[in-house]
Amino acid sequence: MRRIGHCAIVFAWFGAHNLQPCATLFAFLHHLLAFTLVSALAVEFILLGQELSPATARRIVLADAVLGAAAGLLLVVGLARVFFFEKGAAYYFHSHAFMTKFSVFIAVSLLSIIPTVEFLRWRKPVRDGQVPAVSPEKLRFIKRVIHGEIGAVVIILLCAAIMARGGWV
C-alpha cells in the first residue's frame, strides 16, 4: 500500500483503500499517450513524403510538438505506473523486457532530437507563410531517422507483449 500512497493524495476521491480506479486511469493514459505518439510519428513520416509547402511544414511542426508532448507525458505516466502501481519498481527494474523497452524508449527520445531541431528551425518561415529552406538530402535523412523511430516502436511493442505474458524476466 505504501508505494501507491502518493497517488492517494492526488486522487483522494477514490478512497484510501480503493486505488484500483487510479491504476486503471494511469494504464488508460499510458496507452492513450502511446497511441498518440505513434500517430504523430506516422503523420510526420507521411507528411515528409509529400511536397514541402507552407501548409505541410506547419502540419509537420505541429505533429512534432504533439509527438514531443506525448513522449514527455508518456515517460511521466509510465514511470508513475512503475513506481506507484502494478508490480513495483523492483519487479520492473529486474525485468529484461522492461529494461529493453525503457532503454529503446530513451534511445528513440534522444534520436528524435534530430528532426525536432530541424523542425524548430522551420517555425519562422512557417509563421511567415514560406516554405522552409531545407535540402532534399536533409529531408531524406530526417525521414530515415523517423523511419528508425517507427522501427524502434515495433521493438517497444514486442517488449510490452513479452512483459504482459510475464516473460523475459
Average pLDDT over residues 38-45: 97
pLDDT at 2: 47
Q: What is the pTM of this model?
A: 0.84
63 has a pLDDT exceeding 60:
yes
pLDDT at 84: 87
Residue 6's pLDDT band, with cuts at 50, 70 and 90, is: low
Residue 16's pLDDT band, with cuts at 50, 70 and 90, is: very low
Mean pLDDT of the chain: 89
How many whole angstroms separate alpha carbon 52 and alpha carbon 116?
A: 16
Residue 88's pLDDT band, with cuts at 50, 70 and 90, is: confident
